[in-house]
Amino acid sequence: MTTGVIPGGHNPEPRPTGERMPQQRHQPGQASPHVETRSRSSVITARAAATFEPLGRSVATARAFVRDTLQGWGFADVVDDAVVLTSELVTNAVVHAGTHADVLCLRADDGVRIEVADRYPEREVPLQGSAVNMGSPDREGGRGLQLCAALAARWGVEYTSTHKNVWFQLDLPERPVGTRAAGPSLPADLLPLADSRVRVAVVQIDRKGSISSWNEDAEEIFGHTAAQVTGKPLTDLAAWPHTPGTGTGIAEALQLSRWEGSYGVRGADGRVTAVYASHLRVRDTGGEPSTVCLLVRDHERAVLQTPLRLPASEAGGASDGQSSDPFEVFIGSPAPDDLDGLLQRTVERARDMLDGDSAFLLLATDDETELEVRASTGLPSARQRFARVPVEAGPGRYGSARMPAVHDDLAAVPGAVPLLAGTGMRSVVTVPLKVEGRLTGSLGVAAEAPGRYSNEEALRLQFAADRIALAVESARLGELERLRRGSLSFLVEASDLLAGTLDRDQTLALMAQMTVPTLATWCAVYTIADQASDPYLSYVLHEDEELIDGIKSLLAKVPPPDPVPTPGARVWTAPGEHAHQAALRSSMRSLGLTGGPTRQVSSGIGPTLATASAVGGETVVLPLVARNRVIGMLTLGKPTDEHFRQEILELAEDLSRRAALALDNARLYSERTAISQALQRSLLPPGTPHIEGMEVEVIYRAAGEGNEVGGDFYDVFPIADNAYGFAIGDVCGTGPNAAAVTGLARHALRLLAREGLSGPAVLERLNSAILDEGDRSRFLTLLYGEMRPQEDGSAEMKVVCAGHPLPLRLRQDGTVEAAAEPQPLLGVIEDLDLYEQTVTLDPGDVLLCVTDGVTERREGTRMLGDDGLADVLTTCTGLTAGAVAARIMRAVERFASDAPSDDMAILAMRVPGLQKD
């Protein structure tokens, strides 16, 4: 990957002017086609570019590049959408198109634009306006442009003769720069002082920071005429900062969308005039940005200065009969920006308003069948947070959450408000939160004394709930949208990681590491080998590594959950109950309460209590279903008294489906690999026999990952008393098809040789058997021979070389010569006329037989060849057969830096030298 970052830069165009404009398909109601709605004058303030190779891992690298770039620019609000879109578009380029992907990130004033270009422009582009069948949501291809249409503010496609470029733009969410507030009505003597005529200098600054407009009031205040200052940088006139402690420079202030503050301006007489300024950044009709500066003398700042907004309590007391915003009266000012802060402020104000002992707020699920605890005060919030209660629960019908309700004494109506069970609260008032008639939540205030609340308090609380319901729902929907977009980004990365391995143990580890701590505090994975097997605890992970062994030991004592194929998460209470019981027994034993002698506190009580706390919260089980079969369960847990959010459970369910498929794929791959290896091992000789008076060594390497047998083969086997057969051959090709012919040749050689046939007769019958295979037949080179050790210490070798590299004989004096003559190979013609040759090996001589994978070893245009092999063999004088084979293999491996691409077999046979007395 190559990257480049270009900070700054103010080129208004992100592309060269010679390229064609992006063409975007449109749906009814959108802008006209072939017109890019993005303003052509947007200022590009930074660029980042990278190129990714056509490899699967490039997708994850591209996601990391975009995430790091946008976070570095401070665009965290759009990171998730950008990562998802980039992932899809880069996948299309490097996986489906098989080309390099060029990613360009452009930072502008109003957002970010990302362009992904590939080098395969001929592909068809689906039309956004036409009906497109997306198929399964898990399908890999065809989603990139559809996601652009769904998530991006603007997008388009550009073509050149060599590239296809897809771009999309994500706008930053609009945030108010400031909040204006109305000031109180004041008597005339309290109004701020100003000159008889208030002069407001209006100065306009272009994008380079130079003055382009200077009005008459500016001339009057500072003494410079417009002609004198036009074109000069404002920094030449500004005395910055005039107010001590101002951290923003004038250049930075002019780039802000809005700014207010004090500084000084040097007049024509050289004196500095203190001014109060309000800067507003605008664009003219041509789209060019500029800054309008309104300046008044500093003592007249009240003309421009935004009044500070007072807290609600102070504003209400000073308004003198004027009404205030009911929302601010209840929540206070400023309102919290996040949902959790808003909800917590709400329950605290509700409790204080009704002088209660506790308060709680629940939000409704999307189907309004359950309420989820989101904030509470005066209650054990850790235990209650994210707990869910059904809307229709209890004799008091919690469905009354849709209407205000007052309970004078909860002791008389048990279960009326399940949330308060066991808390000591006696009286409670609850009111609904509704938006457009739809139940969105419930707000309640409770007290420890009975009969504390009446209908009057209910109406007051309902009035407050009506004021905050819309704000709460808006914040909830915003949080939900952020969670869903973050979930989409999480699932994209999870799918990429799971698809990157076919190892079962690594898949289990990835599954657990993706859930902890993102989704849960701890997790356990159970696997099921087959339908007749019980679930087996395969992996346990906790965010605190010291607790893993304790949880594993605990779960080993608990019966595993039932493998129910029903989708969705279901609560599993067994681990928590067992943990609490074990902790209780441990505590009682340590205190001597079990009837036995009193003992001091055991050192084991610590881990027991820690384990109970770790698994004491909510535990859920999700089935791992793949190919209509339950292959395991994913168990997620929380610490004591914690619950899962519904959105987290939905995300975990999506993850479990992907993880189940990845785990099943790993299982199938492991089974296929085991079968393949078992079959391949059956094609190898059972072992090299011990031959009295001979040294025999074999080195065999099959090409390709996971292959134990290829197109090359060897064999050494007994034929009769003191007679042994040996063979080394090479089937055309590599892999399983070649290995099938290997098995035929090796087994046929043994059978035919033991029938007492001569070498040529054995090979002629093997040739007929290969030709009988028809379309599956492959030609075969084979060196076959028989060896007979002699009483004088020599060995007689009868060999037939059918199209195979010739065997080499190494004498004791270091000379090397061919030990046979070449003859036709097998599997090509029917009628062969083969003959055998006899070679006598003297003590200390070596007969070396190799396949062409050895002699054809290449490094660029160089090849080892027969001469190179002979040169290596000349250095092996006096070595044993094993040392000769090892030296040949080392020479072959060192000849080239790349891994061998062909099968290799080396058979070395040596007659030991005579022993001297």
The pLDDT of residue 602:
42
Contact criterion met (CB below 8 Å) for 292 and 279: yes
Ranges 174-188, 262-276, 445-459, 574-588: which has the least confidence: 174-188
The dihedral built from the CA positions of residue 498, 502, 506 and 512, taken in this order, carries a sign that is: positive
Quick: pLDDT tens for 291-307.
Answer: 999 999 888 888 887 66
Q: Which amino acid is at 127?
A: L
Ranges 1-5, 536-540, 544-548, 883-887: which has the least confidence: 1-5
The pLDDT of residue 17:
37
Quickly count: other Cβ atoms within 10 Å of residue 355's Cβ: 11
Per-residue pLDDT, averaged over 866-884, amounts to: 93
Contact criterion met (CB below 8 Å) for 327 and 342: no
The pLDDT of residue 327:
64
pLDDT band at 763 (very low <50, low <70, confident <90, very high): very high
Contact criterion met (CB below 8 Å) for 123 and 55: no
Indicate whether 634 pLDDT > 70.
Answer: yes
Ranges 365-379, 497-511, 515-529, 577-591: which has the least confidence: 577-591
Spatial separation of the C-alpha atoms in residues 732 and 710, rounded to whole Å:
10
CA 193 from chain centre, in angstroms, equals 62
Pick the closest to residue 349 from 430, 471, 464, 475 (CA basis): 464
Indicate whether 391 pLDDT > 80.
Answer: no
Pick the closest to residue 405 from 464, 462, 470, 473 (CA basis): 462
pLDDT band at 802 (very low <50, low <70, confident <90, very high): very high
Ranges 244-258, 614-628, 788-802: which has the least confidence: 244-258
The pLDDT of residue 1:
55
Per-residue pLDDT, averaged over 159-163, amounts to: 79
Using alpha carbons only, what angle is made at residue 796 by residues 795 and 800, rounded to the nearest 5 degrees? 135
pLDDT band at 342 (very low <50, low <70, confident <90, very high): confident
Pick the closest to residue 699 from 811, 519, 851 (CA basis): 851
Spatial separation of the C-alpha atoms in residues 193 and 199, rounded to whole Å:
13
The pLDDT of residue 830:
86
Which position has the higher pLDDT, 888 or 558? 888
Ranges 249-263, 309-323, 759-773: which has the least confidence: 309-323
The dihedral built from the CA positions of residue 614, 615, 619 and 621, taken in this order, carries a sign that is: positive
The pLDDT of residue 349:
85
The pLDDT of residue 242:
44
Indicate whether 713 pLDDT > 70.
Answer: yes
The pLDDT of residue 181:
43
Which position has the higher pLDDT, 503 or 717? 717
The pLDDT of residue 591:
65
The pLDDT of residue 146:
75
- Lateral strand order in the sheet of 388-390: 388-390, 370-377, 358-364, 438-447, 427-435, 405-407
Ranges 7-21, 526-540, 601-615, 896-910: which has the least confidence: 7-21
The pLDDT of residue 608:
64
pLDDT band at 447 (very low <50, low <70, confident <90, very high): very high
Mean pLDDT score of the chain: 79
Per-residue pLDDT, averaged over 265-291, amounts to: 86
Kindly state the percentage of the chain with pLDDT values over 90: 20
The pLDDT of residue 105:
93
Q: Which amino acid is at 76?
A: A
Residues 6+ apart with CB under 8 A from 487: 647, 650, 651, 654
| Cβ-based burial of 144 (10 A; exposed 0-12, middle 13-18, buried ≥19) | buried
The pLDDT of residue 324:
52
pLDDT band at 243 (very low <50, low <70, confident <90, very high): very low
In what helix (H) or strand (E) does residue 555 lie, and over which residues does it extend? helix 548-557
Per-residue pLDDT, averaged over 609-636, amounts to: 83
Count of residues in the chain: 917
The pLDDT of residue 710:
63
Q: Does residue 414 have a cis bond before it (omega within 30 degrees)?
A: no
Quick: pLDDT tens for 674-683.
Answer: 777 777 777 7
Per-residue pLDDT, averaged over 45-61, amounts to: 86
Q: What is the pTM of this model?
A: 0.49
The pLDDT of residue 43:
79
The pLDDT of residue 180:
42
Ranges 135-149, 449-463, 837-851: which has the least confidence: 135-149
